[in-house]
Amino acid sequence: MSLHQRDYILRMIERITAVLARALKRRTEGDLDGARAELAAATSELLGASGALLPFVDARTAVDLLSDGDRVTLYARLLMAESTLTDEASAQLVRHKARALMEELRRRAVPLSEDAELFQRELLEA
């Protein structure tokens, strides 16, 4: 992995960590709509124009749209955070989509950063 790629990944990790912290704070304060809005804004900001389409497509298409293993992992992390902000039935569907994304990456043998590989193992082995 090049230094540029590593820097990009570290910046993305920092950004998503900040988003998740803000969403968790809002959830803790009882502001579920605000927490959902934080995640929606982050999805759009971090994943670009394709971020708006992602909720409407299957895992295979989402991986094609995002075209990068680390961006797919980022989306899966956002989905896992979203799953904590809804009822259990909806949460199961969201978690299923996150797992399907990571399974698709594994099926395609997409190279991932160390952090993304760890997340993938944890999610798929849970």
Encoded amino acid at 118, one letter: L
Task: Give tens-digit pLDDT for 61-104.
Answer: 999 999 889 889 989 998 998 898 888 999 999 999 999 999 99
Query: Which phi and psi (to 5°) does residue 20 adopt?
Result: -65, -40
Q: How many domains does the chain have?
A: 1
Label residue 44 by pLDDT band (50, 70, 90). confident
More confident residue, 9 or 102: 102
Are 116 and 71 contacting, i.e. CB atoms less than 8 angstroms apart?
no
Residue 5 pLDDT > 80? no
Residue 1 has pLDDT above 70, yes or no: no
Answer whether 95's CB lies under 8 Å from 79's CB: yes
Confidence of residue 20 (pLDDT cuts 50, 70, 90): confident
108: containing domain: 3-125
3-state helix, strand, coil in the chain (%, to 5): 85, 0, 15
The pLDDT assigned to 106 comes to 97
More confident residue, 18 or 96: 96
- The predicted pLDDT at position 56 comes to 93
**Residue of 27 and 3 predicted with greater confidence:** 27
Report which of 47, 41, 43 is spatially closest to residue 66, judged by C-alpha positions: 47
**Residue 22 has what pLDDT?**
87
- Closest to 96 in 3D by CA, of 82, 109, 110: 82
pLDDT reported for residue 36: 87
One-letter-per-residue 3-state SS of 77-109: HHHHHHHHHCCHHHHHHHHHHHHHHHHHHHHHC
